[in-house]
Amino acid sequence: MGSTISSIPFAGTPEQEKKLRAVIDSHKNEKGCLMPILQQAQEIYGYLPIEVQKIIAAETGYPLEKIYGVVTFYAQFALNPKGQYKISVCLGTACYVKGSGDIYNKLIEKLGIEGGGCTSDGKFSLEACRCIGACGLAPVLTVNDDVYGRLTVDDIDDILAKYN
Amino acid sequence: MKSLEELNAIRDKMKDHVEIRRESSDAAGKYQVLVCGGTGCTSSGSAKIIEKLNEEIEKNGIKDKVEVIKTGCFGLCALGPIMIVYPEGAFYSMVKEEEIPEIVREHLAGGHVDTKYLYKETVTENGIKSLNETNFYKKQHRVALRNCGVINPENIDEYIGTDGYQALAKVIKEMTPEQVIQTILDSGLRGRGGGGFPTGMKWKLARNIVPDADQKYVCCNADEGDPGAFMDRSVLEGDPHVVLEAMAIAGYAIGANQGYIYVRAEYPIAIHRLEIAIGQAREYGILGKGIFGTDFDFDIELRLGAGAFVCGEETALMTSIEGNRGEPRPRPPFPAEKGLYGKPTILNNVETYANVPRIILNGAEWFASMGTEKSKGTKVFALGGKINNTGLVEVPMGTTLREVVEEIGGGIPNGKKFKAAQTGGPSGGCIPAQHFDVPIDYDNLIAIGSMMGSGGLIVMDEDNCMVDIAKFFLEFTVDESCGKCTPCRVGTKRLLEILDKITKGQGTMEDIDKMEELCYYIKANSLCGLGQTAPNPVLSTLKFFRDEYIAHVQDKRCPAGVCKKLLSFEIDPDKCKGCTACARVCPGGAIEGSVKTPHVINKDKCLKCGACIEKCKFGAISKK
């Protein structure tokens, strides 16, 4: 579970806020609207800082603690911004038995960050994920929307170099 | 569209166009190039293949003779990107962009099938053989997957061309809700999501238990959370309309007019195709008000998950749709009585639904004629791990593990020995070689301490450590436990700590006993399925691979050479050339020796990181 206040100062723009309010307006009266609103809010801001949660609370009438409860429950909601390049290593079973754990550890070593962290220049963030469903290509990692499959630890340097 | 006649007109128009893809033939006609657009092939670049194909087809001026169709998953993900050309049924595997110009020129424009780029197994002396005769497909029987890799999932007309929405028309025009439920009951269909509860029974309860309910719901569980399972995703990507049709049938049967599909946000392609499918079905009037001119209304909405494994549990899933933390609640009341928003609700998973329209059209007897006594029909498995043909297979219930692994899966790569197959994901267990010939069905798997689960089947070879695998699954459940009940939240954590101790060589024999006791305690006392099944990976590995646990505890040794803390690294002096590469890469400075003389590892300093093995060009370093 993350901390309430993000370590990086909130830098939302008025345009983002306008978009967010439009999203809230279009869903507000639906049953079970909180999840779709949070999902779209995360698309707008890239993460869900407490400032955004407060806007949603004020507009929907849900108490902030309920919203915070939902945000911290689901793995896909982030309280901290992600890196410019999100590296996600699949630790699903098929990838794991083919050595994705070694690949994950190698990235931790190379990037000097823990899983869930972001490099200090904001370039790379690293996380483990559970099965993206490309088991035929195991082991697999993704960098933003690019998928790299049939990996060995030796491929890591080349992949990182592409984004440096 | 409002009438059945219009539906039939589209079917008749599309039928030949689609059916040609089921059996290859020599009939001349327009070429159809089917390219897999499932997640596996998309990841290996099938979008670029399609782009290149269109470009080359344009260049060769054969645009009116060739149609390129993006389909769902063919199943043989290991060979992606996959492309198949009809009428011949020529199967191109691992297609590369640079091969496309030649294929288009020779095959599509020239009419000569060049066997050079075809999947080797389909090439014979006299030409090519059908994909259905290859080892991978021969033993398969496709019911749930029958349209996957055959139709364009983004075109409702192609689905209608395969008798799509005829089952829905049949139930609302010709059958009473009771007859529909009786048909599903008679077919013996059981839930494909894990538990194996009879589907017809679920529908019957939801129809009758609250007679005066003002609102009921039909939900689809597409929150396929088992790591290593991708059956449901492939159905949604390859044949989304079958799920919509089945949900509408279920709605008619139980008396509901609203459906929700709860799908994982990690499946962007599936979500995209579902959105398209729902839009097309609404446009055709197949979803919405007054379907086929009757007074039956039914509509479906999508709800996206946000990465919580526990939301695959039925009560948690409904809580999540309502916009809350996805925590389960005690049952009873069961969802058939009090489900979504407190109303009677049924929840079936994607594969279960994919069987329903065929059962309605072909009859309950047809379905019940497949499978074993208590498990009817077929089951889709996602084959993964240490196996040659990774991918998606659908076999009749009762097929043995040996047939699946050795014949369909093509065996274990690199001549390694089969050790176990894991089914049921974090809720299931490992099936060792001694049960290789057990016919796979719900009851047999439970009898040998595993479970069907949703259908992930991960093969492990001699290089996989079973203690490490148990630990892997426990890490998963500890991560995913929602924290609501103590046995699961605290129990799984303690279990993981003991496993961790054992893999580090600090375990005692009492730890093994304690662990076993704790497993039974967690199983008996947890609130939901997640906790009740979380200890299964530990119990089943303890049952079949106890000697590995004992080796870790008593001999401080990991027989498979996985648990790093227990490994010892050695340099073979006969093979070592003294190149110093290992000594330079060693982060702990544990390797000693001078140039051109054999080096030695100082075991006190060795961090067991394995960097030296990776670096050694002479294979002189081994781990034990």
pLDDT of residue A134: 80
In the predicted model, is pLDDT for residue B549 greater than 90? yes
Alpha-carbon distance B543 to nearest alpha carbon in chain A (angstroms): 20
User: How far is it, in rounded angstroms, from Cα B475 to Cα A114?
Assistant: 17
Largest CA distance in chain B: 89
How many CB atoms neighbour CB B445 within 10 A? 24
In the predicted model, is pLDDT for residue B610 greater than 90? no
Mutation target among A35, A38, A129 for the B interface, most CBs of B within 10 A:
A35
Determine if the pTM surpasses 0.95.
no
In this prediction, residues B454-472 reach a mean pLDDT of: 94
% of chain B surpassing 90 pLDDT: 80
Q: What is the DSSP letter of B110?
A: T
In the predicted model, is pLDDT for residue A22 greater than 60? yes
pLDDT of residue A87: 95
In the predicted model, is pLDDT for residue A1 greater than 80? no
User: How far is it, in rounded angstroms, from Cα B432 to Cα B412?
Assistant: 14
- Bridge partners of B421, per DSSP, are B431, B459
In this prediction, residues B134-150 reach a mean pLDDT of: 94
Chain B interface includes A153 (CB < 8 A): yes
Label residue B603 left, alpha or beta by phi (over 0 means left) and psi (-120 to 50 means alpha). alpha
pLDDT of residue B168: 97
pLDDT of residue A6: 57
In this prediction, residues B568-576 reach a mean pLDDT of: 91
In this prediction, residues B473-496 reach a mean pLDDT of: 96
In the predicted model, is pLDDT for residue A3 greater than 60? no
In the predicted model, is pLDDT for residue B525 greater than 90? yes
pLDDT of residue A2: 43
pLDDT of residue B24: 62
C-beta atoms of B385 and A35 within 8 A: no
Q: Tell me whether strands B299-304 and B456-461 are parallel, antiparallel or unpaired.
A: unpaired
In this prediction, residues B412-431 reach a mean pLDDT of: 93
B27 — pLDDT class (breaks 50, 70, 90):
low
In this prediction, residues B190-215 reach a mean pLDDT of: 94
C-beta atoms of A76 and B39 within 8 A: no
> Which residues 6+ apart lie within 8 Å of A31 measured at CB?
B322, B323, B341
Question: Which candidate, B347, B392, B398, places its Cα nearest to that of B377?
Answer: B398
In the predicted model, is pLDDT for residue B367 greater than 80? yes
C-beta atoms of A138 and B384 within 8 A: yes
How many CB atoms neighbour CB B88 within 10 A? 18
> Which residues 6+ apart lie within 8 Å of A76 measured at CB?
A39, A42, B265, B306, B307
Lowest mean pLDDT among B221-230, B233-242, B495-504: B221-230
> Which residues 6+ apart lie within 8 Å of A53 measured at CB?
A64, A67, A68, A71
pLDDT of residue A80: 83
> Which residues 6+ apart lie within 8 Å of B40 measured at CB?
A133, A134, A135, A136, A137, B73, B77, B80, B230, B391
**Which of B42, B80, B228 minimises the CB distance to A92?**
B228
In the predicted model, is pLDDT for residue A130 greater than 90? no
In this prediction, residues B134-162 reach a mean pLDDT of: 95
In the predicted model, is pLDDT for residue A5 greater than 60? no
How many CB atoms neighbour CB B13 within 10 A? 12
**Which of A97, A134, A153 minimises the CB distance to B460?**
A97
Distances (CA, A) of B538 to A139, B163, B454, B557: 24, 46, 19, 19
In this prediction, residues A20-28 reach a mean pLDDT of: 95
What are the φ/ψ torsions at residue B95 (nearest 5 degrees)? -70, 135
Alpha-carbon distance B350 to nearest alpha carbon in chain A (angstroms): 15
Nearest-5° Cα angle at B487, B483 to B488 = 45
> Which residues 6+ apart lie within 8 Å of B446 measured at CB?
none
pLDDT of residue A147: 87
C-beta atoms of A94 and B460 within 8 A: no
For B478, the 3-state DSSP assignment is: helix
pLDDT of residue B386: 95
Mean pLDDT for chain B?
93
% of chain B surpassing 70 pLDDT: 99
SS3 content of chain A, % helix, strand, coil (to 5): 50, 10, 40
Model confidence over A151-163: pLDDT tens digits?
Answer: 999 999 999 999 9
B26 — pLDDT class (breaks 50, 70, 90):
low
**Which of B227, B323, B382 minimises the CB distance to A35?**
B323
Lowest mean pLDDT among A6-20, B76-90, B415-429: A6-20
* Structure token pair of residue B54: 């269109």
Model confidence over A26-53: pLDDT tens digits?
Answer: 998 888 999 999 999 999 998 999 999 9
* β-sheet with B378-385: strand ranges across: B391-396, B378-385, B456-461, B418-423, B429-432
Alpha-carbon distance B7 to nearest alpha carbon in chain A (angstroms): 33
B565 — pLDDT class (breaks 50, 70, 90):
confident
Q: Which residues of A touch B384 (CB under 8 A)?
A: 93-94, 135-136, 138
B199-208 vs B240-254: helix crossing angle, rounded to 10: 40
In this prediction, residues B12-39 reach a mean pLDDT of: 84
In the predicted model, is pLDDT for residue B28 greater than 60? no
How many CB atoms neighbour CB A22 within 10 A? 12
